Structure 1
Amino acid sequence: MVNFKEFWSRNTLVGVALGQFLSLLITSTGFSSSELAKKGINAPTSQSFLNYALLAVVYGSILIYRRKPLKAKWYYYILLGIIDVEANFLVVKSYQYTSLTSVMLLDCWSIPIVVLLTWIFLKTKYRFKKITGIVVCVAGLVLVVFSDVHAGDRSGGSNPRKGDLIVIAGSTLYAISNVSEEFLVKNADRVELMAMLGIFGSIMSAIQISILESNELESIKWTAGAELPFFGFAVAIFMFYSLVPVLLKTNGATMLNLSLLTSDMWSVLIRIFAYHEKVDWMYFLAFGAVVAGLLIYSGVDKDGNEQPPNVGEENPQPRKEYEEVISGNDSKFVHLLQD
């Protein structure tokens, strides 16, 4: 039996609330990308570049002011930067081929990947109550699939099949990025993570823009109102990146990805109040199911919440070993992964 008193713990409520705010931010970026695609603007890497530049300037300034050595080797951040840039590129690119709701639906592919990666590499324990929470969340989203309104929305897009495949590839990279960020934020430092991700993300984005999008940017005809979704996307994704490490540190990568499931439902609510559209009642039932699943998942601290890699194991490794991993002892890193 689930103890409902656990649901009202400070950690649970803050985690759920923060997760839903992040979900709203993702919803806003989805609307921005969709609007830009409708206006014929196809520059996915350029959309993300401004976010990385903001991260580099804001958090890089703090990092320089601290004048402290990096806790993680710089080449870890290069790999993370490449993965993150390509994940953003693929998901934003998919809006050129498929519908907004299809993108948000297929993003849930990241959940089983995150669960698998955190179980293997971070030694996260997923006991019965946590698995129940995950199942309830995904079941809530499945309800949306069977909605007539939702089925009609999925028909949008110039090449839905191609767009769906691109989303799945991007979701896989997002999962790898999220798990890597969780490991780094728990063992290194949030400001360092954001600064280095911003620096290397900006570099990788600039290179990709020069190769793939230079001609596209020159040919873009900025119609009236196109600047608002472009810069709105950058501001929203910057806020998202700034807050994600907070949720990763307190609740873990799986909680983050489960929280983002409600982005589809938030988009429906926006359509109801902003565009006065009528939607199927199953959307509201789905939203309630996802929130209930989040409460079940996060409200069971004593059953093995996601912890830093050396916490909660039957034979915990000394933290020193993980610090050696971060400092660049690659052989020990391989040994730990094999264990």
Structure 2
Amino acid sequence: MSSFKDFCSKKTVIGLGLGQFLSLLTTFTGSASSELAKRGINAPTSQSFINYVLLAIVYGSIVLYRKKALKAKWYFYVPLGLVDVEANYLVVKAYQYTSLTSVMLLDCWTIPCVMLLTWLFLKTKYRFRKIAGVVVCVAGLVMVIFSDVHAGDRAGGTSPLKGDALVIAAATLYAVTNVSEEFLVKNADRVELMAMLGTCGAIVSAIQIGIIERNELKSIRWTAGAAIPFAGFSVAMFMFYSLVPVLLQVSGSTMLNLSLLTSDMWSIVIRVIAYNEMVDWLYYLAFAVVVIGLIIYSVGEKEEDQRRADIADEESEHDKHAYKKCPSRN
């Protein structure tokens, strides 16, 4: 009964629901990127640039309207913007060299990196139940990777080792940005974070576009078939970036990365519903396993929060009794 109440708590439900919505947005951005790649458009930095501009305009306007000083020093956001831009660039670039299966598998490297960084810098404690939830989630993803659905992806790309190295580098950078955002959300301000990340990301992206993608942009023929997925990608990314801090504040960066493991599975569900495609039964089982892992992780978090609250109450009561027993100085 206690576990059921933990599962139905507002914090757990919001964490699970928001995590899966973010996973759906990731699926949409991946589909849009795939459509652009089919049309010969290879401009990953330019795709992210619109998102950063939207963040800077929307959230920057709110910050200016407040007319308040930044809670965190502005120069903290510069390396964050640089790391975020390069992480987005590297993971898209990796698809040119390695297989989809390799990207899926190696992208899991973000999870242990996040757990290590949060343990070192944010002092997050991971008890057995949380670790068990992580293991179950990764096991569900491994089931997807080794299913027959991805048999055609195992052949690898033109340079698998190079592509795998890019994915590992991107996953490490994503871990750094997720943990940094979690710290800033909990210690500074969510709107300020989005405004400064958008501003710094837009500046870094603009410089990188001028150096790397200028010629590519000139050669693009902006037909409706190219403009629609490009715009859709930018809107989905803006929504994703806007909601990520909310999940970080509610459940933390580890929960975020665990939730995103289901993005590939959502793409399969969409293909089944929209195109009536037949998929391997192992996909449905894998999806269920990942969801179970998320629930285990979330319930464990609820119990730990309650345990910390009980300890705090006990310490408060102890202090009160100690104060009453203390003889008067008068």
So what's the TM-score if we normalise by structure 2? 0.88
Q: Does 1:4 align with 2:13?
A: no
Deviations 1:271-329 (A, max 9, x none): 222232221111111100111111110112454359xxxx88x99xxxxxxxxxxxxxx
Residue 154 of structure 1, CA deviation: 4.2
Which amino acid in structure 2 is aligned with residue 25 of structure 1?
A: L
The one-character-per-residue Cα deviations of 1:67-88 (angstroms, maximum 9, x if unpaired) are: 0100001111001000001011
After the TM superposition, which residues 156-305 of structure 1 pair with which residues of structure 2 at under 5 Å, given as runs?
Answer: 157-304=157-304
Alpha-carbon distance in 2 for matches of 1:159, 1:36: 22
Distance in 1 (CA, whole Å) between partners of 2:163 and 2:228 is 25
Corresponding residue for residue 111 of structure 1: 111
Question: Kindly tell me: are residues 82 and 173 of structure 1, through their superposed partners in 2, closer, same or farther at Cα, counting changes over 3 Å?
Answer: same
Q: Which moved more, 1:97-106 or 1:81-90?
A: 97-106
Instruction: Rate the CA distance shift 1:259–1:101 in 2: closer, same or farther, 3 A.
Output: same
Shift of 1:186: 0.2
Q: Deviation at 1:160?
A: 4.3
**Distance in 1 between the 2:191 and 2:300 partners?**
29
Q: 1:278 to 1:162 in 2, by over 3 A?
A: farther
CA contact (8 A) 1:47 1:230 kept: yes
Contact kept in structure 1, 2:60 and 2:196, CA below 8 Å: yes
Task: Return the alpha-carbon distance in structure 2 between the equivalents of residues 104 and 188 of structure 1.
Answer: 33
CA distance in structure 1 between the aligned counterparts of 2:48 and 2:122, rounded to whole angstroms? 28
CA distance in 2, matches of 1:199, 1:102: 33
Note the C-alpha offset of 1:219.
1.9
Letter aligned with residue 287 of structure 1: F
Do the aligned partners of residues 227 and 159 (structure 1) sit closer, same or farther apart at CA in structure 2, a change above 3 Å counting?
Answer: farther
* TM-aligned CA distance change 1:173 to 1:49, over 3 Å: same
Greater Cα radius of gyration, structure 1 or 2? 2
How far residue 220 of structure 1 moved from its aligned partner, in angstroms, is: 2.3
Structure 2 equivalent of residue 91 of structure 1: 91
Aligned counterpart, 2:67: 67
% identity of equivalent residues: 71
As a proportion of its length, which structure holds more helix? Answer: 2
Supply the distance in 1 between the matched residues of 2:165 and 2:247 (Cα, whole angstroms).
28
Per the alignment, in what secondary structure is the counterpart of residue 225 of structure 2? Answer: coil
Supply the distance in 1 between the matched residues of 2:27 and 2:302 (Cα, whole angstroms).
32
1:44 — aligned with what? Answer: 44
Kindly tell me: are residues 33 and 158 of structure 1, through their superposed partners in 2, closer, same or farther at Cα, counting changes over 3 Å?
Answer: farther
Greater shift, 139-148 or 271-280, is seen at 271-280
Amino acid at match of 1:191: V
Distance across 2 between alignment mates of 1:277 and 1:160: 29
Aligned pairs (5 A) from 1:316-331: none
- The answer to whether the Cα contact below 8 Å between 2:136 and 2:293 also exists between their aligned partners in 1 is yes
Q: Rate the CA distance shift 1:302–1:280 in 2: closer, same or farther, 3 A.
A: closer
CA distance in 2: counterparts of 1:84 and 1:97, whole angstroms = 21
Give me the whole-angstrom Cα distance separating, in 2, the residues matched to 1:44 and 1:135.
32
Indicate the larger mover: 40-49 or 214-223: 214-223
Would the aligned equivalents of 1:143 and 1:283 in 2 still touch at CA under 8 Å? yes
**Per-residue deviation, residues 186-214 of structure 1 (Å, max 9, x unmatched):** 00000000000000100000000011111
Q: Give 5+ residue unaligned stretches, structure 1.
A: 316-339
| 2:7–2:295 CA contact under 8 A, matched in 1 | yes
Which residue identity lines up with residue 108 of structure 1 in the other structure? C
CA RMSD of aligned residues (A): 2.2
Distance 1:99 1:31, change over 3 A: farther
Give, in whole Å, the separation in 1 of the partners of 2:41 and 2:262: 27
Shift in CA distance, 271/98, structure 1 to aligned 2, threshold 3 Å: farther
Q: TM-score, normalised by structure 1?
A: 0.86
- Cα distance in 2, alignment partners of residues 240 and 278 from structure 1: 29
Q: Distance in 2 between matches of 1:30 and 1:104?
A: 12
- Give, as a single letter, the amino acid of the residue that structure 1 aligns with 2:25: L
Q: Which residue of 2 aligns with 1:325?
A: none
Task: Tell me how many residue pairs correspond in the alignment.
Answer: 310
Report the secondary structure of 1:299's partner residue: helix
1:31 is aligned to 31
Which residue type is aligned with residue 191 of structure 2? V
- How far, CA to CA, are the matches of 2:304 and 2:250 in structure 1? 13
Matched residue, 1:120: 120
1:2 Cα shift? 8.6
